[in-house]
C-alpha cells in the first residue's frame, strides 16, 4: 500500500524523511529540503531605451531634456516588483558610450535621474548591465549576445520562467539566446511570434501568476486527472466512483470558491482506501503548486454548524505538514465512504499541500459531521488563499 508519507516524501528528490524527525528537530536538513521547495527566482531582463524611457530620434539619451518616461511604467513596474518574485536586471546597449560622440558625463546625469525616479516609485534593479560597444564591434557582451548575462545561466535562477522585456528585434533574439521567453514592448510586429505588449499594464497582467495546477497521477492503484483553479467560481466536476465522497468534494469546492475538475479511477474492487487517500494527495499537490509564493495570502480558520453537528477547521499555509484531528464517528460507513478515511483524507492533503490543519468536530449524525468538516475546510481555504496586499505572511519572508 502507498501511504501518504512515502508518497509525499518521494517528492523530496528521492530522499526519504520521517514525520517525527521533521517535526521535532528544529535545525535539521529536512527543513532545508522543504525550504528548497520554494521555487527558484525567475529574472526579468528589462531593456532601457524604448522600454522604460522613450527613445529619441537620434537614439541617444545624453541630456536631461531627452529623459522621457514611457506611460505608466513607474506604477506598473513598481507593482511587478512588489507583488511578483522576479529578480530585476536592466540590460542595455549604449552605443559608443565613453567615446567622443557619447561621453560618459552626458550619459550618467540622465541615467542616475532615471534610477532615482525608479527608486522613488519603489523600483530598485538588482543589477544593471551596460554594454558600451558599437554594432560593428560585434562584441559578445552586446545584445543579442549574452556575454553580460552568462553568469545567470548556470545558476540557481529559474531561467525557463524568466523574461526579456524589450522594444527591439534584438531583444527577441536576446531571449532566444538566453533560453527564456520575451515580451516585445510597443506596437511593432514581432519576428518570432513573441508576445507583444502595448502598455506596462498589459505586461503586469500578463506576468501575474495564474494560481492553477494540473495533476496527472497514475499508480497501480489509482489514476487521477485533476485541474484546480484557486481563483475560480466554485465550479466542480468530480467523479471518484464514491458518491458520498464526490458530494463532500463538491461541498468543499462550493464553500472554497475554487474550481475543481477531478476524475479518479481507483481500485474500488479492493476497497475505498486508495481512491480517497490518493485524491487527498493529488488535491494537496495541486493546492501547493497553485498557491505559488503565497504572497498576499492569509492564515485562517472557520467553524460552522450543520444541524446538531459542528466542525471547526484551522488552517495555516505554513510549509510544515501537520494534522490534528479530534472527534469521533459512530458509523463505519456513510454511503460507500468509510468514516475512518475522513481523517486519512485530510492527513494526505496536509502532507502533500504542506499545510497545518487542526480539525475538531462534535455531533450525533455522522453524515452531518463529515459535511460540516468539508464545508468548514472549504471556507477556511477560501479565506486562506484570498490575496490581500503583497506581503508574504511570515516574518521569515517565506512560508
Span interacting with Mg ion, options 46-54, 74-82, 226-234, 292-300, rule CB under 5 A: 46-54
The helix (run of H) or strand (run of E) holding residue 311 is strand 309-316
Distance CA 252, CA 371 (A): 9
Output the residue with the shortest Cβ distance to Mg ion.
50
Looking at the DSSP bridge assignments, the partners of residue 207 are none
Distance CA 136, CA 371 (A): 72
Residues sharing a CB contact under 8 Å with residue 390, sequence separation 6 or more, in sequence order: 82, 83, 295, 296
Neighbours of 25 (CB within 10 A): 11
Among residues 54 and 293, whose Cβ is nearest to Mg ion? 54
- Looking at residue 133, the DSSP 8-state letter turns out to be -
Q: Give the binding-site size for Mg ion (rule: CB under 5 A).
A: 4
Would you say 90 and 129 are in contact if contact means Cβ atoms under 8 Å apart? Answer: yes
Among 132, 128, 129, smallest CA distance to 118 is for 128
Looking at the DSSP bridge assignments, the partners of residue 358 are 314, 324
Question: Any catalytic annotation for residue 49?
Answer: yes
Among residues 166 and 321, whose Cβ is nearest to Mg ion? 166
We find the least distance from the C-beta atom of residue 377 to Mg ion, in angstroms, to be: 50
**Can the peptide bond before residue 144 be classed as cis, meaning omega within 30 degrees of 0?**
yes
We find the least distance from the C-beta atom of residue 47 to Mg ion, in angstroms, to be: 4
Question: Any catalytic annotation for residue 158?
Answer: no
- DSSP calls for 137-180: G--TTSTTS-GGGHHHHTSSS-GGG-EEEESSHHHHHHHHHHTS
We find the least distance from the C-beta atom of residue 101 to Mg ion, in angstroms, to be: 19
Three-class SS of residue 272?
A: coil
Give Cα 124 to chain centroid, integer Å.
22
Among residues 93 and 309, whose Cβ is nearest to Mg ion? 93
Query: Active site residue: 47, 131, 278, 316, which one?
Result: 47
We find the least distance from the C-beta atom of residue 57 to Mg ion, in angstroms, to be: 14
Go through 277-311 and write b for each residue having 16 or more CB atoms within 10 A of its CB, e for each that does not.
bbbbbbbbbbbbbbbbbbbebbbbbbebebeebbb
Among residues 90 and 230, whose Cβ is nearest to Mg ion? 90
- Looking at residue 386, the DSSP 8-state letter turns out to be -
Among residues 77 and 306, whose Cβ is nearest to Mg ion? 77
Among residues 117 and 304, whose Cβ is nearest to Mg ion? 117
> Which 282-341 residues touch Mg ion, going by CB under 5 A?
none
Among residues 167 and 259, whose Cβ is nearest to Mg ion? 167
We find the least distance from the C-beta atom of residue 42 to Mg ion, in angstroms, to be: 21
We find the least distance from the C-beta atom of residue 46 to Mg ion, in angstroms, to be: 10
Neighbours of 112 (CB within 10 A): 10
Span interacting with Mg ion, options 2-10, 49-57, 115-123, 198-206, rule CB under 5 A: 49-57
> Which 159-198 residues touch Mg ion, going by CB under 5 A?
167
Span interacting with Mg ion, options 14-22, 47-55, 253-261, 351-359, rule CB under 5 A: 47-55
Would you say 45 and 149 are in contact if contact means Cβ atoms under 8 Å apart? Answer: yes
| Number of helical H runs and strand E runs in the chain | 12, 16
We find the least distance from the C-beta atom of residue 55 to Mg ion, in angstroms, to be: 6
50 binds Mg ion (CB under 5 A): yes
**Chain positions contacting Mg ion, by CB under 5 A:** 47, 49-50, 167
Positions marked catalytic: 47, 49
Amino acid at each position: 500500500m502507498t501511504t501518504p508519507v512515502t508518497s509525499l516524501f518521494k517528492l523530496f528528490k528521492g530522499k526519504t524523511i520521517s514525520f517525527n524527525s521533521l517535526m521535532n528537530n528544529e535545525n535539521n536538513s529536512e527543513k532545508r529540503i522543504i525550504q528548497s521547495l520554494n521555487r527558484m527566482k525567475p529574472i526579468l531582463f528589462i531593456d532601457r531605451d524604448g522600454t522604460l524611457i522613450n527613445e529619441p530620434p537620434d537614439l541617444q539619451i545624453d541630456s536631461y531634456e531627452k529623459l522621457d518616461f514611457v506611460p505608466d511604467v513607474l506604477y506598473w513596474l513598481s507593482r511587478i516588483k512588489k507583488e511578483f518574485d522576479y529578480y530585476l536586471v536592466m540590460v542595455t546597449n549604449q552605443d559608443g558610450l565613453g567615446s567622443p560622440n557619447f561621453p560618459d558625463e552626458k550619459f550618467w546625469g540622465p541615467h542616475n535621474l532615471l534610477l532615482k525616479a525608479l527608486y522613488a516609485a519603489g523600483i530598485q534593479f538588482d543589477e544593471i548591465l551596460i554594454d558600451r560597444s558599437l554594432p560593428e564591434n560585434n562584441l559578445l557582451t552586446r545584445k543579442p549576445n549574452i556575454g553580460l548575462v552568462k553568469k545567470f545561466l548556470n545558476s540557481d535562477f529559474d531561467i525557463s520562467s524568466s523574461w526579456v522585456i524589450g522594444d527591439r528585434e534584438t531583444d527577441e533574439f536576446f531571449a532566444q539566446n538566453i533560453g527564456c521567453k520575451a515580451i516585445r514592448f510597443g506596437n511593432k510586429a514581432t519576428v518570432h511570434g513573441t508576445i507583444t505588449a502595448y502598455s506596462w499594464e498589459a505586461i503586469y497582467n500578463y506576468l501575474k501568476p495564474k494560481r492553477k495546477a494540473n495533476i496527472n497521477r497514475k499508480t497501480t492503484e489509482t489514476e487521477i486527472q485533476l485541474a484546480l483553479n484557486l481563483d475560480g467560481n466554485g465550479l466542480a466536476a468530480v467523479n471518484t466512483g464514491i458518491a458520498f465522497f464526490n458530494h463532500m468534494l463538491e461541498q468543499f469546492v462550493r464553500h472554497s470558491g475554487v474550481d475543481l475538475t477531478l476524475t479518479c479511477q481507483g481500485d474500488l474492487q479492493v476497497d475505498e482506501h486508495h481512491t480517497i487517500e490518493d485524491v487527498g494527495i493529488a488535491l494537496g499537490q495541486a493546492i501547493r503548486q497553485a498557491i505559488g509564493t503565497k504572497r498576499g495570502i492569509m492564515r485562517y480558520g472557520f467553524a460552522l454548524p450543520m444541524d446538531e453537528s459542528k466542525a471547526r477547521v484551522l488552517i495555516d499555509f505554513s510549509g510544515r505538514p501537520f494534522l490534528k484531528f479530534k472527534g469521533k464517528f459512530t458509523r463505519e460507513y456513510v454511503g460507500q465512504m468509510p468514516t475512518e478515511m475522513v481523517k486519512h483524507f485530510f492527513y494526505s492533503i496536509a502532507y502533500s499541500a504542506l499545510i497545518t490543519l487542526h480539525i475538531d468536530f462534535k455531533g450525533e449524525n455522522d453524515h452531518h459531521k463529515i459535511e460540516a468538516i468539508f464545508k468548514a475546510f472549504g471556507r477556511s481555504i477560501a479565506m486562506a488563499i484570498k490575496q490581500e496586499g503583497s506581503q508574504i505572511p511570515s516574518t521569515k519572508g517565506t512560508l
